[in-house]
Chains A and B, each alone.
Chain A
Amino acid sequence: MISTKMFSSVTFLYLACTVLYFNFLAFRSEQLGKVATALSWATLLIHTAAILWRWVESYQLGMGHAPLSNMYESLVFFSWCIALLYLLWERKMKSRIIGAFAMPFAFLFIAYASLAPGVSDRIDPLIPALQSNWLHAHVITCFLSYASFALSCGVSIMYLLKIRKKEKGKKETGWISLFPPLESLDALVYKTIAVGFPLLTIGIITGAAWANYAWGSYWSWDPKETWSLITWFVYAIFLHARFAREWRGKRTAVLSVIGFAAVIFTYFGVNYVLSGLHSYA
């Protein structure tokens, strides 16, 4: 299939973007940064075209469903969400600094889609449980929220790297000195979660609405449901700690990393370690 080949090349392009963003940090070259941004937009464009092309291919195979229906397709879409959200952020903030910590996520997830054994890139027809319009709303909101949390995690890692250097009393040298000030990083950790949390909520609600049609209950403590709630709890703790107890900086950055770990377990762990109704992706 052409789309699969396109996704493979997109994988390498995201790797190239990652390398460029790192070099931009290391050599502090505005020129390199511009190249990184241009290449990222181009990659996102190809990525979008490939997703649309896969949709067309599914029609050619006589199935005709959106490419959001299995592990492979969800990974590809996850990667797309991360790249899109990052690039929008970059445009808004006019800063490329977090690129080196955002693009690796886009690369890793799409690379996992192509390389991991057991992740089939075949287009399969929709099983009865997936034949629903809730599929689109549910998958799109969930992965946009996951992507937002991925960015938050990337920024939190930057924050933690920077503060560790500071706490050791070392003078900031090298590429860490290029990171935005701690306050801006901290604000960004919050802002990305402020986008991701409502989206996750809508993702859970659309999932519940769908489950009420397909499984006969809006909530049945299925491992996927439960883990999405655990993730929701972690970010709820983040928001309450930040707003009402005025936690800032290191502690909230750690919470954001824990939150993303919960996201990853909700996404992968539940499928690989636990078993349940939600076995598609």
Chain B
Amino acid sequence: MSKKEEKGFFSSLGDSLSSLKLTIALLIILAVASIFGTVIPQNASPEEYLRVYKFSTYKILKILGFLDMYHTGWFVFLLALLSLNLIVCSLKRFRITWRFFSPEVRLSDRQWENLSPCQKFSQKGLPAQCFSQCREALSGVFSLPKIVEVSGAYHLLAEKGRFSRLGVYFIHFSVLLILAGALIGSFYGFRGNVNIVEGQAADQVVLRSGQQARFPGFSVQLEKFSVSFYPTGAPKEFKSILTIMEKGRKILTEPILVNHPLTHKGITFYQSSYGVAGVAKAILAVKDRQSGKEISIAAQMGNRTEVQGSSSFFFLDRFLPDLQGMGPALQIIFSEPNRPQQNFWVFQNHPEFEDQRPGRYRLTIKEIEPRYYSGLQVTKDPGVGVVWAGCLIMITGFTMTFFMSHRRIWVRLTEKEGGTLVAIAGSSDRDRTGFEEEFEKIAQALRETQRAQEDYKEREGRS
């Protein structure tokens, strides 16, 4: 390959990277791909996919990366290409925008012709005399005008909102910042879940990838979980009271709720799910059918519980907070002399079921308290701050771009037959109607100050 061709290749590559056609094409491709991503379930299990798709379709979708599309190579590549395009386009455009920051005060006749709105009128007095009032009239509403004097003619330029030209760069930069934040999060962050039973602690979390991550120098203990419901049955509040422990010392205890996570050392804990792990406390009434005596026995999950004054004993095997819609139920393994071991359910709300069961003892649940576990989502994302900074800059950029305008007014004072020919013209990059009203006011003010000046001089002359 010759050197010339090489340059041609790179400059044409540069051209296509800086082209807006590429931006629009990328945005369209990303939008269409995203549609696929919402239609095809993401990160589901193979069984779930095979329920919907044929095996061959599933294979193809998997190979093309459509099953975890937003993290797949080509999608990330498209985002990277968009970022590159954004950078190149912005740099290219910035050269043009930068000209607004060293503006021409003295315009050519040709430039004057192209400006609108534009007004011309003559005033008494030489340009040098008109000049200071003119400067005051402009600086009242606009910045202090820049002035150039060329052989007796004065050129003034007053501006307002010049920095709004930079809004678009703020927006483009913020997009890059947000993507950078996302990148930081994906490299240095993690996301996982941990279930903690009341009274127990965890010091690591299982990540989505299947790996494990340790909390840096602390563990989290679940003191208590509680759930409450509205009368309609809809959930009202899920609450886990967490204690952060460092080297066996309690550092802090705080409740977490949905919408109210807890962050410690860069790791955030979210209330995500809950369930029943067993029984915290169970008190059973055991009635001896022969003697008619009833005693209360506190039982623990898994432990052998003796029935006092007999050689019978039982185990609590399983607890369900709601067995087939019949309320809380305990599965019990009961053993009494001269009988085969029995395995049965006892319902808290249906003690009458026990009447059907043969055996010496009749068991009912007097009191039962479930032991909950709380499912916590554990997230570390050091990129979040960068993303929020990007969002703030983006909003600033939008405010500059859409709600502010760069307004300029040029005034030229040239001598004409012993008086001054005043030419005033303006331009605004948006909100023309608003600008035209403002321009009209300023033009009016220019005429009026001059007129007032004349009246004053006339009066002076007369007296």
Contacts and interface: CB of A to CB of B under 8 A. Distances in A.
Given A128-B236, A219-B182, A233-B31, A214 B38 contact: no
Contact of B379 (A216, A226, A229, A241): A216
Given A205-B394, A216-B268, A233-B30, A129 B191 contact: no
Nearest to B30: A233
Contacts of B403: 198
A270 interface: yes
**Residue with the greatest number of chain A CB neighbours at <10 A, chosen from B23, B235, B259, B384:** B259
B345 interface: no
Contacts, number: 99
A125 interface: yes
Given A216-B379, A217-B379, A244-B20, A237 B27 contact: yes
Given A127-B235, A197-B398, A213-B260, A230 B191 contact: no
Interface string B373-398: 00001010100100110010011001
Contact of B24 (A227, A240, A270): A240
Contact of B395 (A194, A202, A270): A202
**Chain A interface, >50% SS class:** helix
B322 to A, nearest CB: 20
B112 interface: no
Contacts of B315: none
A80 B20 CA distance: 38
Q: Interface residue tally of chain A, by bracket?
A: 35 or more
A126 to B, nearest CB: 9
Interface residues of B, number: 46
Given A197-B398, A230-B34, A131 B259 contact: yes
Nearest to A244: B20
B236 A125 contact: yes
B259 A132 contact: yes
Interface in A190-234: 194-195, 197-198, 201-202, 205, 208-210, 212-219, 221, 223, 226-227, 229-230, 233-234
Contacts of A244: 20
Nearest to B387: A218
Interface in B220-259: 230, 232, 234-238, 257-259
B261 interface: yes
Given A131-B258, A221-B70, A236 B395 contact: no
B379 to A, nearest CB: 5
B270 interface: yes
Interface of B: 20-21, 23-24, 27-28, 30-31, 34-35, 37-39, 42, 70, 182, 191, 230, 232, 234-238, 257-261, 268, 270-272, 377, 379, 381, 384, 387-388, 391, 394-395, 398-399, 402-403
Top-9 shortest CB links A-B: A128-B258, A198-B398, A216-B270, A223-B38, A233-B31, A132-B259, A216-B377, A205-B391, A125-B230
Given A129-B259, A209-B388, A216-B379, 10 more contacts: A124-B232, A202-B395, A205-B394, A213-B260, A221-B70, A226-B37, A230-B35, A244-B20, A245-B21, A274-B39
11 contacts: A124-B232, A128-B237, A198-B402, A208-B387, A221-B37, A226-B34, A230-B31, A230-B34, A236-B27, A245-B20, A245-B24
